[in-house]
Structure formats: structure tokens, C-alpha cells
């Protein structure tokens, strides 16, 4: 075991503070990583506050990890000391169930081991995340970072990037299609960048007129203000796919009319009950509502390679570790464009 510096929350109402955790020694199939950057995700905030009722303290958040390999086990084949690597939302799964065999470890039937706050046999009984100096992860869950990508700006790709890439990828988005991205935040801005890089006509759908300029800079071809009834009517039946990134329950019915027949709106943000959904558009238009959760390791590597090829990274604000509590406050106030990333050299 090794003692490692980290930032942890020790209660639901407590602030993140300097803490010491223990990491397991590097096993035969493990990769040891010195963490250089860690993205800050809204789920970090929820976990610290125990909003989902499953937090076990101390909580060390962080599942958008970028770092350098510092040691490898004797059975490790894919990585060597000095490699630039990443760790996303998962660090283990059963590897044997139907979902895992289909490279969908996020849906592991035994339950994936998440990067933080999951039960583990390691010291502390729970996994500890990337708000720390170092992490040890089994080889199968380590990702290679393309050399041309800025490391700090690549960190949010490991959650926000794969969360938006996976549905776009699975629904075959390509040139000639029209894609609407609903909501412009940490997820939405990545949805715009990725859909645009895939060649689709990309439309930002938002309630905020002041986000139009930002959306165009990010790659949106058009902006649709969803509170403008005339504009919404004009876009009826024009979309091949809708990526809904709104993080809270809301009325989805106005958006369903934007879809062409036999097309889908996919949720990646609202992990809670939705308002009453009218079944008529789905029945008469053969339209579908779907959901998507991050992506498997294979698809996450495909996303990173795609981002390397198209030079796609997140729009970030880099902070020091000691600024994290203020960053959480600013996240609650939507005061970030569009993701915070911690420079871990400050820990």
C-alpha cells in the first residue's frame, strides 16, 4: 500500500479538504498512473452532497483522469512507463457477463466498479477518484490519449466526451443528417463539437438567446430558441436525431415534434422522472425516446482516437486543487464555460 495525497469530502455538508488515502500496490495486471489533470463533473458535486443517497465518506471524486504511466505489472502488454493515458468513469467490471462481452462494461450485469465511491477490496473499502496524486487501475480500463491533444482539455472527454459521442456514434450520425443538441453546458458543448466533426448539420437548441454566439463558435450551423413558437414551428419534422443534454426533468413534448418520422431523441442528462410524455407522436410518427450512459472501454478509445483525428477537445478553465470548493459553487451557478479541470501539480 502507498499513502497518497488527495482532496476528500468527509460529510455531505463538508467541503473538500486535504486528505490522505491508500492505494494498492501495482499488481501483475495493473497500471500505476501519476495524475496530471482531472476534470470536474457535475456528478462529483452530486456525490459529495450525497444527492443520490449512495455516498460513503470520505468521498474522493474525479473520473476524468489524465496522467503518465509510472509503473506497470509484469502481465501488462498495452502500456509502458511514460505513456500518456486516461481513466474514465469505470475501473473494473466482471468481464464475463453478456454486457461486458459486448464491450458495454457500463451496463455490467454485476454492476461496474466506478472510479470513485464503488465498493472495492482495496484499502478503505471504496474506490477513490482522480482528485489525488496517483491511481492504480487494471490494464483493461486504461485508455491511450492521442499525442496531439492538449492533456488538460482532453480530460473531460473521459466523461462528457464519451457521454455525447456514444449516442451519436450508435445512431450513425454522419454527413447529410441534421442533428439537434438540446442544452448548452458541459455535455451540450461537446455534443455540438462532436456532431459537427461527424459532418452533420448541427443545430443548438436552447432557451437562452445569449448562448447563440457561443454555439456558433463551437461549431453549430444554426441556433433554435425553443421558447420561440414560430421558430419551433419552422423546424418541425426536420431533425434526424436529437441529443438531449438537459440535466433535470422537463417537458419533452415540444421537442418530439422536431423529429422526422422514425427518428429518436436520446437523453444523456436527466437521471430523474420526466414530466408526462404524450405517446401520440411516438405512435403516429414512429418516434422513439431513448437513453444512453457513457460508453464501454472500446468505444471510449474510439472516441479518443476520433477526437485526436479531428482535434476535438473540451472548452475548459484550469484551476488549482485548492480552488475546488469555489468551483463547485460556480458550477451550481452555471458559471463555467464549459468544464473545470484541476491541474494536479497544485496538490
Shared-domain flag, residues 154 and 14? yes
Between the alpha carbon of residue 165 and those of residues 83, 159, 225, 228, the distances in Å are 24, 10, 24, 28
What's phi and psi for 139, nearest 5 deg?
-50, -40
78 assigned to some structural domain: yes
| 25-77 pLDDT tens trace | 999 999 999 999 999 999 999 999 999 899 999 999 999 999 999 999 999 99
**pLDDT on residue 123:** 87
Residue pair 3/20 in contact by the 8 Å Cβ criterion:
yes
Within-domain flag for 299: no
Nearest 5°: the CA angle 41, 47, 48 is 100
State in Å, rounded, how far the first CA of the chain is from the last one: 20
Range(s) of the domain holding residue 226:
161-291
Q: CB neighbours (10 Å) of residue 90? A: 24
Residues 216, 67 share a domain: no
Whole-number Å distance between alpha carbons of 119 and 56: 9
Residues 144 and 173 in one domain: no
Q: Are residues 181 and 150 in the same domain?
A: no
Q: How far is Cα 245 from Cα 196, in angstroms, rounded to an integer?
A: 16
Would you give per-residue pLDDT tens digits along the chain (347 residues)? Answer: 899 999 999 999 999 999 999 999 999 999 999 999 999 999 999 999 999 899 999 999 999 999 999 999 999 999 999 999 999 999 999 999 999 999 999 999 999 999 999 999 998 999 999 999 999 999 999 999 999 999 999 999 999 999 999 999 999 999 999 999 999 999 999 999 999 999 999 999 999 888 899 999 999 999 999 999 999 999 999 999 999 999 888 999 999 999 999 999 999 988 888 889 999 989 999 999 999 999 999 999 999 999 999 999 999 999 999 999 999 999 999 899 999 999 999 99
The CATH number that applies at residue 332 is: 3.90.180.10
The reply to whether 124 and 247 lie within a common domain is no
Q: How far, in Å, CA of 201 to CA of 179, rounded?
A: 6
Q: Are 192 and 220 in contact (CB under 8 A)?
A: yes
Helix (H) or strand (E) holding 170: helix 160-170
Same domain flag for 181 and 253: yes
Instruction: Verify that 287 and 323 share a domain, yes or no.
Output: no
The grid coordinates of residue 305 equal 482516437
Q: Is residue 307 part of a domain?
A: no
Cβ contacts of residue 91 below 8 Å, gap of 6+? 113, 114, 115, 118, 127, 137, 138, 141
Is residue 261 a part of any domain in this protein?
yes
Q: In this structure, are residues 290 and 266 in contact, taking their beta carbons and an 8 Å threshold?
A: yes
- Supply the pLDDT for residue 273: 87
Do 10 and 155 reside in the same domain of the chain? yes
H or E element at residue 331? helix 324-332
Give yes or no: residues 212 and 250 share one domain: yes
The tally of domains found in the chain comes to 2
Q: Indicate whether 178 belongs to any domain.
A: yes
Are 64 and 104 found together in one domain? yes
Q: How would you classify residue 316: left for phi > 0, otherwise alpha for psi between -120 and 50, otherwise beta?
A: beta
Closest CA to 139 of 70, 67, 64, 73: 73
**Residues 112-155: pLDDT tens digits?**
999 999 999 998 999 999 999 999 999 999 999 999 999 999 99
Amino acid at each position: 500500500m502507498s499513502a497518497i495525497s488527495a482532496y476528500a469530502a468527509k460529510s455531505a455538508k463538508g467541503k473538500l479538504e486535504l486528505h490522505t488515502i491508500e492505494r494498492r500496490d501495482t499488481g501483475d495486471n495493473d497500471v500505476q498512473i501519476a495524475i496530471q489533470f482531472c476534470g470536474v463533473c457535475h456528478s462529483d458535486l452530486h456525490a459529495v452532497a450525497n444527492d443520490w443517497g449512495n455516498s460513503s465518506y470520505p468521498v474522493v471524486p474525479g473520473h476524468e483522469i489524465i496522467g503518465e504511466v509510472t509503473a506497470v505489472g509484469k502481465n501488462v502488454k498495452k502500456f509502458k512507463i511514460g505513456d500518456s493515458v486516461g481513466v474514465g468513469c469505470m475501473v473494473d467490471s466482471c468481464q464475463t457477463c453478456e454486457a461486458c462481452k459486448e464491450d458495454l462494461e457500463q451496463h455490467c450485469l454485476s454492476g461496474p466498479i466506478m472510479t470513485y465511491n464503488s465498493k472495492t477490496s482495496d484499502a478503505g473499502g471504496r474506490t477513490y477518484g482522480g482528485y489525488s496524486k496517483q491511481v492504480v487501475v487494471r490494464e483493461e480500463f486504461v485508455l491511450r490519449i492521442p499525442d496531439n491533444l492538449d492533456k488538460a482539455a482532453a480530460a473531460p472527454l473521459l466523461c462528457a466526451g464519451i457521454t455525447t459521442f456514444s449516442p451519436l456514434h450508435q445512431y450513425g450520425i454522419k454527413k447529410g443528417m441534421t442533428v439537434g443538441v438540446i442544452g448548452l453546458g458541459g455535455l451540450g458543448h461537446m455534443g455540438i463539437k462532436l456532431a459537427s466533426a461527424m459532418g452533420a448539420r448541427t443545430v443548438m437548441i436552447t432557451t437562452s438567446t445569449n448562448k447563440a454566439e457561443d454555439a456558433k463558435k463551437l461549431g453549430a450551423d444554426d441556433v433554435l430558441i425553443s421558447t420561440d413558437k414560430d421558430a419551433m414551428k419552422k423546424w418541425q419534422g426536420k431533425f434526424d436525431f436529437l441529443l438531449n443534454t438537459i440535466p433535470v426533468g422537463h417537458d419533452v413534448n415540444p421537442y418530439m415534434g422536431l423529429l422526422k418520422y422514425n427518428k429518436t431523441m436520446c437523453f444523456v442528462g436527466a437521471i430523474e422522472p420526466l414530466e408526462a410524455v404524450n405517446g401520440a407522436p411516438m405512435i403516429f410518427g414512429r418516434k422513439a425516446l431513448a437513453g444512453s450512459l457513457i460508453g464501454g472501454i472500446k468505444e471510449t478509445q474510439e472516441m479518443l482516437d476520433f477526437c485526436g483525428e479531428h482535434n476535438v477537445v473540451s472548452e475548459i478553465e484550469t484551476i488549482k486543487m485548492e480552488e475546488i470548493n469555489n468551483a463547485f459553487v460556480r458550477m451550481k451557478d452555471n458559471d463555467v464555460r464549459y468544464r473545470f479541470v484541476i491541474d494536479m501539480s497544485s496538490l
